[in-house]
Amino acid sequence: MHGRKYSLWPVIVTPYNLPPSLCMRREFLFLSILVPGPEHPKRSLDIFLQPLIYELQMLWEHGVEAYNVSCHQNFMMRAVLMWTISDFPAYGMLSGWSTNGRFACPYCQDVTNAFQLRNGRKSCWFDCHRRFLPSRHPYRRSRTLFTKNKKVFDAPPPEIDGSAILDQLRDFGAEMTAYCGGNGHEPVSGAGEVHNWHKKSIFWDLPYWIDHLLRHNLDVMHVEKNFFENIMNTVLNVQGKTKDNMKSRLDLADICSGRENMEVSPDG
């Protein structure tokens, strides 16, 4: 919070064939790339990642000679990048799928029921999750617990595998971003309207990236901190930070049933 003018983006690699208690220990966290600030690297992040991707390709295709301390011998060490872990904004930078707007979820993509709040004007994912329940789950039929008067019969969104993602990137013309690099390329056609691809991520240069089931993770600590702060600021009614305001009350009455919501009038 106090280091804004020194902001930079460290990229840290850690070996995952260690017990969980050791993975995050300082001696196993390898600082591989420092992306200098203070300006946000945006799409040029991939340029900074090039040396790391090159070394990961080497580690996959040829390996490097390493020393095994327990058997006192040299061996060819090979390695694979399993996934990335970041906060939600960096998820967009790493994956190439922008995490802003209605299509923010890289899994639901355009098959989302996200909507814009009529008063708050923000994108909202309220009641987008009942479709993941078993088809006969009683919540799916409730007209009062979620969006008022709405039952949900939809199936969850289809799962998208690596080759389907590559097809999307090709069809929307996002592949060109990888040749041009940085922020210089043209915007991807349809971005923000029918999809959220803003580039073809450099991670697709890894030959095995297409076969991964999970490519990018969110760091729970970041997510929970924001969530916790929003709840605490609302419960404690911190002025300027509480989410309980006129607009949210109007939206609540708009979307939800329930007596306490319906009784809210525009003046409080």
Binding site for Zn ion (CB under 5 A): 105, 107-108
Instruction: Report the C-alpha gap between 263 and 268 in whole angstroms.
Output: 10
Q: Are the CB atoms for 23 and 164 separated by under 8 Å?
A: no
Provide the minimum distance between the beta carbon of 108 and Zn ion in the complex, in angstroms, as a whole number: 3
Helix (H), strand (E) at residue 59? helix 45-61
The answer to whether 220 and 98 are in contact (CB under 8 A) is no
What three-state secondary structure class fits 123?
A: strand
Which residues make Cβ contacts (< 8 Å) with residue 7, sequence separation at least 6?
37, 38
- Measured from the CB atom, the residue of 108 and 169 that comes closer to Zn ion is 108
Contacts (Cβ under 8 Å, ≥6 apart) of 17: none
Nearer to Zn ion, 113 or 201 (CB): 113
Report the nearest approach of Zn ion to the CB of residue 171 (Å): 21
Residues contacting residue 266 through CB under 8 Å, at least 6 positions apart: 246, 250
For Zn ion, the closer of residues 185 and 216 by Cβ is 216
Q: How far is the CB of 245 from Zn ion (least distance, A)?
A: 27
Using the minimum distance from each CB to Zn ion, give the nearer residue, 28 or 88: 88
Contact 188, 177 (CB under 8 A): yes
Q: How far is the CB of 88 from Zn ion (least distance, A)?
A: 12
Contacts of 240 (CB under 8 A, 6+ apart): none
Q: How far is the CB of 192 from Zn ion (least distance, A)?
A: 17
**What distance in Å separates the CA atoms of residue 159 and residue 140, rounded to the nearest whole number?**
21
Beta carbon nearer to Zn ion, 45 or 104: 104
User: Please, which residue, 69 or 155, has the CB nearer to Zn ion?
Assistant: 155
Task: Specify the 3-state DSSP secondary structure of 158.
Answer: coil
At its nearest, how many Å lie between Zn ion and the CB of residue 215?
A: 15
Q: Quick check: 205 and 57 in contact, CB under 8 A? A: yes
CB of 17 to Zn ion, least distance (A): 31
Q: How far is the CB of 174 from Zn ion (least distance, A)?
A: 20
Query: Of 60 and 126, which has the nearer Cβ to Zn ion?
Result: 126
Beta bridge partners of 147: 256
Q: d(Cα 87, Cα 95) in Å, to the nearest integer?
A: 12
Q: Which is nearer to Zn ion, 53 or 104 (CB)?
A: 104
